[in-house]
Structure 1
Amino acid sequence: MSTSTIESHMATVPHQSASQRLRRKMVPMRLSYSWFGTRKSLSREQKSQAASAFGAEGKFLCAGKKLIDTNDPSFRAVTSIRGQATTYFHGISLAYPEAGVRLVREDDVARVNTRLAAYRQDLSDAVHQLEMQYDTLRDAARERLGSLFDEKDYPNHLAGLFQMTWDHPNIEPPNYLRQLDPELYEQECLRVQARFDEAVQLAEAGFMQELSDLVAHLSERLSGESDGRPKIFRDSAVTNLSEFFERFRRLNIQSNGELDALVDRAKQVVQGVEPQTLRDHADVRRQISDQLAEVTSSLDQLLIDRPRRNILRRPK
């Protein structure tokens, strides 16, 4: 089913709550990592030795050692891919109130799987490059750690020590429970529904805060001079907002009409405005800044009112 078809369907089912639509149209997904630990606590004897230099007791000292230089370009390349994959996954999904689980649109699942597979291959390639520098990094650690260096802290190879996996956990009540214990099954259904209600609130809060931060940043860049010098205005101050509007369009569950209206208002303010135009024309900067101030005021009020709205909307 295409994105436009899903959005049209969601908009034409008024009797369904936002959490029910979310439950029907989103797929749970979990992205996980297993990672080689680069720090290790000192042994009891080593802590006592370190503490003696300060006249302290070892059991009251927390100390550790860094096994390899994590600022080395080959190691940073590995951690960079992890950051990219996590950022992508969070950008195309919604939070779910269960550790590590997020919600992905049904029609995005195949695309997400393909993209994560590409990141996993990039990670494998980067780990291979790190492996080529591993002996050098270990020798450098031997020199820097001195007597704290322990050969047993270092595996012979790094293959398999940096892993990225993902799965689709089942968050629905098991069907067998319906026959085994109908009352417990009903309780589980209510529990899961409550979690999707919370997921709706998490989505609203996340979108509100992100829009508020992006608008505040752009407004601050447009506000004039800093320390007597014009503030640096980068294209990202505008392009980040455009990316937010697209993500909101894809992931919006139409649970909050006020938020929808504010996003539309902010989009109208910056639509068609080029970053270079804002740099070159002070009058355009002032106009955009004034309009964004109105959006900010409404957003602030919405953020203040949100706890009360959640209480009023929460089912008995």
Structure 2
Amino acid sequence: MNITNLTSRVMLSTLNISVWRARRFDTRATQEVEAKHEAKDIGRFNKRLLTDGATSYKEVCAIGNRARSLFDSHSLDYDQLGVRLLPTTVYMEVAEKLRALRDEFDGATAHFLADYPRLKDEARVALNGLFDEADYPTEAELRKKFGIRFSVLPFPDASQFGIDLPPDVLQGIRDEMDARVMGAVKTANNDLVGRLYEAVQHFANRLYGEGNVRLDVADKLRELSTLLPKLNFSDDPALAAILTKTQDQLACYTGAQLKDDPLLRLNVAERAMEIEAQMAAFMGGPPPAMTREQSDTPMLQLLAA
């Protein structure tokens, strides 16, 4: 596929999610702790401005988490902070789901704002001497601290880049843009394969592990094997072969089948290791090691408002 075809299949996209942090650094409390322990610069005392029972606030954050997870799972790494690649094949699905989540987010925010005076009164009691009215924005100020903003821009296309410069200079800029496009494609494809690698590795480990196999053993792999082919906007044949092999040889089995047949589990686990090696070769080596806790943690990137 040539570069022009590539740039028509993907967009630059951002998702900004902002919430009130509901935390505040307390200088006085920090100084008191330092004085008590006769120490300096030993830490910072950050107050939680709402109690653990602030469920309306937690619901806003939970919806923000779901929006971030949806966006990140359906988009790919790019080389600019906060910007990701969104294949056109999934744009309509992502835009529709984010629109619904934004409506949920706005509704939950309205509920929280209505609950805010009561929650502040609860915090006044819980914080006791640490309560400070100045830590709490007014409702009008608070309303501006919540929002979900999804936006897209065209992917850079050197053939459409025409400015008033000498031809040799303009050609140099276009060549550099083309090189960046191909580098971005490589980054995106490695991101895609890296996700699958982690899932296949975890899948194989659970099949090789001792004890009973849980019925959900294949769920994550099946979910990825359905989604990731849609993100292969470059139609890379080696990548397509890996995705097809994973779907045909690993994700085709249910948890019940694998749980009830030890020989099948061993056979599928061996195939998973072969596919792992194929993916590592595609990426030029396995991805950096991740703990299971890290890979399972939702990437909530909330902007402090």
TM (norm. structure 2) is 0.80
**What is the rounded CA distance, in whole Å, between the counterparts of 2:57 and 2:189 in structure 1?**
37
Shift of 1:264: 2.1
The one-character-per-residue Cα deviations of 1:43-80 (angstroms, maximum 9, x if unpaired) are 3x4432231011013x5643322212366332221111
SS state at 1:94 partner: coil
Shift of 1:188: 4.5
Give the conservation status (yes or no) of the 8 Å contact 2:7–2:156.
no
Q: Return 262-271 or 171-180, whichever deviates more.
A: 171-180
Which residue of the other structure, out of 38, 46, 50, is the alignment partner of 1:55? 38
The answer on 1:250 being equivalent to 2:230 is yes
**What is the rounded CA distance, in whole Å, between the counterparts of 2:96 and 2:5 in structure 1?**
25
Which residue of the other structure, out of 183, 186, 197, is the alignment partner of 1:198? 183
SS state at 1:95 partner: coil
The one-character-per-residue Cα deviations of 1:108-149 (angstroms, maximum 9, x if unpaired) are 434433222111100011112222432332223222323322
The answer on 1:159 being equivalent to 2:143 is yes
Give the conservation status (yes or no) of the 8 Å contact 2:78–2:85.
yes
Which residue of the other structure, out of 126, 144, 164, is the alignment partner of 1:179? 164
Higher relative contact order (CA 8 A, sep 6+): 2
Give the conservation status (yes or no) of the 8 Å contact 1:171–1:192.
no
The answer on 1:291 being equivalent to 2:271 is yes
SS state at 2:278 partner: helix
Could you tell me which residue of structure 2 aligns to residue 262 of structure 1?
A: 242
The answer on 1:223 being equivalent to 2:217 is no
Give the conservation status (yes or no) of the 8 Å contact 1:97–1:195.
no
Could you tell me which residue of structure 2 aligns to residue 84 of structure 1?
A: 66
Which residue of the other structure, out of 34, 37, 41, is the alignment partner of 2:18? 34
Change (3 A) 1:21 1:32: same
Shift of 1:42: 2.1
**What is the rounded CA distance, in whole Å, between the counterparts of 1:189 and 1:66 in structure 2?**
51
Partner amino acid for 1:126? A
Partner amino acid for 2:259? R
Could you tell me which residue of structure 2 aligns to residue 233 of structure 1?
A: 214
SS state at 1:179 partner: coil
The one-character-per-residue Cα deviations of 1:190-233 (angstroms, maximum 9, x if unpaired) are 443343223212222212221211111111221242xxxx2451
**What is the rounded CA distance, in whole Å, between the counterparts of 2:135 and 2:171 in structure 1?**
50
Q: Provide structure 2 residue ranges, at least 5 long, that are not aligned to the other structure.
A: 288-305
Partner amino acid for 1:92? H
The answer on 1:189 being equivalent to 2:174 is yes
**What is the rounded CA distance, in whole Å, between the counterparts of 1:52 and 1:73 in structure 2?**
36
Could you tell me which residue of structure 1 aligns to residue 47 of structure 2?
A: 65
**What is the rounded CA distance, in whole Å, between the counterparts of 1:194 and 1:180 in structure 2?**
20
Could you tell me which residue of structure 2 aligns to residue 313 of structure 1?
A: none
Change (3 A) 1:256 1:112: closer
**What is the rounded CA distance, in whole Å, between the counterparts of 1:126 and 1:190 in structure 2?**
48
Shift of 1:243: 2.1
Give the conservation status (yes or no) of the 8 Å contact 2:185–2:234.
no
Could you tell me which residue of structure 2 aligns to residue 125 of structure 1?
A: 107
Shift of 1:176: 8.7
Could you tell me which residue of structure 2 aligns to residue 312 of structure 1?
A: none
Matched residue pairs, number?
284
Could you tell me which residue of structure 1 aligns to residue 303 of structure 2?
A: none
Q: Provide structure 1 residue ranges, at least 5 long, that are not aligned to the other structure.
A: 1-12, 308-316
Change (3 A) 1:288 1:186: same
Give the conservation status (yes or no) of the 8 Å contact 1:93–1:104.
yes
**What is the rounded CA distance, in whole Å, between the counterparts of 2:127 and 2:169 in structure 1?**
57
Could you tell me which residue of structure 2 aligns to residue 93 of structure 1?
A: 75
SS state at 1:27 partner: strand
Could you tell me which residue of structure 2 aligns to residue 275 of structure 1?
A: 255
